[in-house]
Structure 1
């Protein structure tokens, strides 16, 4: 074979030929590794035992053994070359049986240490239709802890680079017809042009595809993991992205990889705005691990949803992070509502304040002169000015009530796709003080903070909506109380001051119109840098952004919001 090895699968029969310095083979599908350290029976074909780091020679041997068995359709042997035999065996078998791969050639590349890249040139055949499916992937070889053998570290991405833990590669006729997504002005929104909308489109297709008409064709798709990251009541891990066992959260239904037979798509109109969405996509592209949402204060319509995250998680809609000082919008509203403060009345801003046995301080321990009013303390984001008011309120549930009854936080928002709708638990002591400044047990995402800003701007909670409730007759959440006009007037004026001469002034300098803002940074245990939060409004658009580990609010999240408010 002139020193080049070649492998193929033809007509469902696996043929593998190995020789010289190379080899060709087949590919499979399944979950990522992490289940067990070695193979199911402690045997890994002819893998050699060793000690210490895996050598490149061992890596090539293990990769060759795995890929050769895969090419031959020998799922048992292929699995034994991995450190998670049960998942790998299922994956190898499924690639042919459930992804309908009728032919595949795998060409390995040049190893880099213990990592071996390879190219897959496959054909998928379903009900008489054959289409090519080509991609690149890689595998890494590790040493089995109990056997000492060099084994492929099983990851779902070995089968296809887009697969995450728990996901499966499938082909056939999907249950939901394809959907053409359009914005409020009937402009088409494609995931190719607006990548952040890929999980949104998947969920909308799953929920509304059969309701909106259309006809299903045939596809190759990624089936989402059965496990989810959140419970039915919306509780989750700190970032909502992983479950306790480490499974990746998926934000929607299946993701199409290849269309075999085109279906007849239905058209689904959303409240998104293509111009604002484009600005949001460009804005988050500047900052890793960032998310942003924009809504209309007058009606709650969602104008844009964008994320730039390695894990593909829709943190903009379903994240659960402490929002930092952006929460002071709600705290200020509660204090104004109860007559404990007034925008033009003094609100002491000392360096530190103690409550519940814990000391709280301002950024870099700054303080403001005696007699400084509450509006200035808000605009400068003075923590102590807020916490000093706790003894005046004298009700543990005050903040939680304001958040729910006026701002709609924690109600069952039915936006049209999955969303986490915020959580402000009732706490006491130091935890209560922490919540006044957006720390402690409070959990939010950019959708929640954008909605809070929209409510402050309009004086009335409008449940955020991505698509019309008339599509499926779903109910929408209604807040128990409308914000008092006097509270709204003072709150908006303080946000305007923040945007023009406070902590948000630099970020909002380029934003026109009637504008307001609030900055925030949230400390996260074990993180080297706080999460950056920023929210603002300009006329009838409100937006909020969060950048994990982004620093102060104006450092990263601020420029994102400013870009969205000035598309």
Structure 2
């Protein structure tokens, strides 16, 4: 007993905590499938040639292998053995770089990892540690997850390396850094002067990060000491994702930035997006471009401002502008809406293969008839839709300056079937709720006002402008078809009681590998406009429609 106790006393490494119990790492054999590597000899061949053959296990890692592999990796990481931890992953170079920076650049010490119960090959775990820098320290705690995979060449189970293993908010190219924040903090205010915080408005995390990135150095603040995620540099032509603060060791002195957000509508938007999984919404004022609310069901990525999704039939607002401008459609004139139209080798159809006989363009728009738009593809040039989107709606130019990073829509020049698909918001067309709120605002007023969150007078930045406006005839027809859709078309149920100064368009966008389409809805009521998407929500009138309509009612 004495010898055993002394041996224990000489052990310096702390044990990995697993569900409150000390982990004992052992290699356990498990039944599974194997293949023979190196030739055709049987596994039990005792000849000299058998030395050149070995069995390689295939198939998913067993429960025992998952536990053993995860435990070995977590123990090595906890004990600061970067080389051993990295060797337990399928990308030792990338793992070495990030795990080395965990201690060296992020100044994280005293790491304790607690493994949770595996689910298949996925293993949750929690992290408790201390961030220490120049005599200051603060606790750090968060949850993460790893996945165990089998290396194809030899069947060895390993941790699949991805930055989110180290911290769930890390993506490829990001780093953890502790030190003086590169940018001083800001105190963001709503349009009435009230402070905007994530405690009040959970969706605003990425927005507040973006405001700090943009205005921190000019708003009069002083940087503090923080552990933060330093984001990778942006690709050419894109906007950098703001850094994210994880732990504040010493408070900086914040500067002040006033936004256009309405506290009433922001609170309502936060409430509405909780009603549907993966819902996102934006509210703005068509006459000025002021953004009044932005909210997402999921708070990790700002889909409302930076999402890149096919907008489905809401794109028919832009396509209708093109058809009206070219004289290929008139709101009250007869227009074909057959069950099927073939173009570029693709056969297009309407929802449930409906058709409208002897109908007008207005009735086709209100019923969201795909073939009414595809049928005009033979009379269009490949760049027609792109030109209208850029010149009239200010889209797809990557030049919006709203005060935080955005994706400004994409309407690429395409040909054949993809060009036809673009006319109904599929193909290569990509949008987000901010883009579509802007589209319906332009349709309502006839003039593009770039959306903005911070007034341009704050930093003298230049807002994007359209190079031309739509004709008065086109605007009148757009308002007519949008009003009719809100009154008697696919948007009527959601928009009930909001007329007469209103208009709306629904959309459903198919996504490969997704059972239900993304549901879209964009509408105006008076001098309010809103757009929303519910990913995998099905028909836009039923999913995104009630969210958008509730916000228009709240702001009326």
Shared fold (TM-score, shorter chain, > 0.5): yes
CA distance in 1, matches of 2:346, 2:147: 48
2:314 maps to what in 1? 326
CA distance in 2, matches of 1:53, 1:338: 58
Q: 1:486 to 1:128 in 2, by over 3 A?
A: same
- Alignment counterpart, residue 146 of structure 1, candidates 148, 153, 157: 153
Cα offset, 1:298, TM superposition: 0.2
CA distance in 2, matches of 1:111, 1:381: 47
Alignment of 1:63-142 (within 5 A): 63-109=70-116, 116-142=123-149
1:46 maps to what in 2? none
- Alignment counterpart, residue 341 of structure 1, candidates 325, 329, 342: 329
SS at match of 2:187: strand
Q: 1:87 to 1:459 in 2, by over 3 A?
A: same
Cα offset, 1:55, TM superposition: 4.2
Q: Are 1:408 and 2:412 matched, yes or no?
A: no
CA distance in 2, matches of 1:20, 1:493: 66
Bigger mean CA deviation after superposition, 169-178 or 326-335: 326-335
Alignment of 1:353-502 (within 5 A): 353-370=341-358, 372-391=359-378, 393-411=379-397, 412-502=399-489
SS at match of 1:566: helix
1:181 maps to what in 2? 188
Q: Deviations over 1:304-342 (max 9, x none)?
A: 2222348x3322222232222111112222222333332
Q: Is the 8 A contact 2:337 2:355 kept in 1?
A: yes
Bigger mean CA deviation after superposition, 357-366 or 149-158: 149-158
1:314 maps to what in 2? 302
Cα offset, 1:165, TM superposition: 3.9
Q: Are 1:504 and 2:491 matched, yes or no?
A: yes
**What is the number of equivalent residue pairs in this alignment?**
514
Q: Are 1:294 and 2:283 matched, yes or no?
A: yes
Q: What are the ranges of 5 or more consecutive residues in structure 2 without an aligned counterpart?
A: 25-55
Q: Is the 8 A contact 2:487 2:496 kept in 1?
A: yes
Q: 1:61 to 1:293 in 2, by over 3 A?
A: same
Q: Is the 8 A contact 1:178 1:263 kept in 2?
A: yes
Q: Deviations over 1:234-275 (max 9, x none)?
A: 6xxxxxxxxxxxxxxx97222111111111111111112222
Cα offset, 1:511, TM superposition: 4.0
1:232 maps to what in 2? 236
- Alignment counterpart, residue 16 of structure 1, candidates 13, 29, 35: 13
Q: 1:157 to 1:384 in 2, by over 3 A?
A: closer
Q: Is the 8 A contact 1:16 1:68 kept in 2?
A: no
TM-score, normalised to structure 1's length? 0.82
Q: Is the 8 A contact 1:24 1:68 kept in 2?
A: no
Bigger mean CA deviation after superposition, 157-166 or 476-485: 157-166
Q: Are 1:275 and 2:264 matched, yes or no?
A: yes
Q: Deviations over 1:449-490 (max 9, x none)?
A: 111100011111111112122232221222122222232222
CA distance in 1, matches of 2:427, 2:453: 30
Q: Is the 8 A contact 2:58 2:152 kept in 1?
A: no
Q: Is the 8 A contact 2:180 2:223 kept in 1?
A: yes
Bigger mean CA deviation after superposition, 101-110 or 400-409: 101-110
Q: 1:119 to 1:544 in 2, by over 3 A?
A: closer
1:196 maps to what in 2? 203
Bigger mean CA deviation after superposition, 550-559 or 447-456: 550-559
Q: 1:373 to 1:66 in 2, by over 3 A?
A: closer
CA distance in 2, matches of 1:140, 1:350: 50
CA distance in 1, matches of 2:75, 2:415: 62
Q: 1:525 to 1:143 in 2, by over 3 A?
A: closer
Q: Are 1:563 and 2:550 matched, yes or no?
A: yes
Q: 1:367 to 1:110 in 2, by over 3 A?
A: closer
Q: Deviations over 1:279-315 (max 9, x none)?
A: 22222222233322222100111122222348x3322
Q: 1:120 to 1:440 in 2, by over 3 A?
A: closer
Q: 1:97 to 1:491 in 2, by over 3 A?
A: same
Alignment of 1:3-82 (within 5 A): 15-18=12-15, 22-23=21-22, 53-82=60-89
Q: 1:482 to 1:101 in 2, by over 3 A?
A: same
1:41 maps to what in 2? none
Q: 1:517 to 1:52 in 2, by over 3 A?
A: closer
SS at match of 2:516: coil
2:506 maps to what in 1? 519
Q: CA RMSD in A?
A: 3.1
1:257 maps to what in 2? 246
SS at match of 2:324: helix
Q: Is the 8 A contact 2:265 2:293 kept in 1?
A: yes
CA distance in 1, matches of 2:89, 2:420: 51
Q: Are 1:285 and 2:274 matched, yes or no?
A: yes
TM-score, normalised to structure 2's length? 0.84
Q: Is the 8 A contact 2:328 2:376 kept in 1?
A: yes
When Rg is computed on C-alpha atoms for both structures, the one with the higher figure is 2
Q: 1:407 to 1:66 in 2, by over 3 A?
A: closer
CA distance in 1, matches of 2:421, 2:376: 13
Q: 1:539 to 1:71 in 2, by over 3 A?
A: same
Cα offset, 1:502, TM superposition: 0.5
Alignment of 1:523-562 (within 5 A): 523-562=510-549
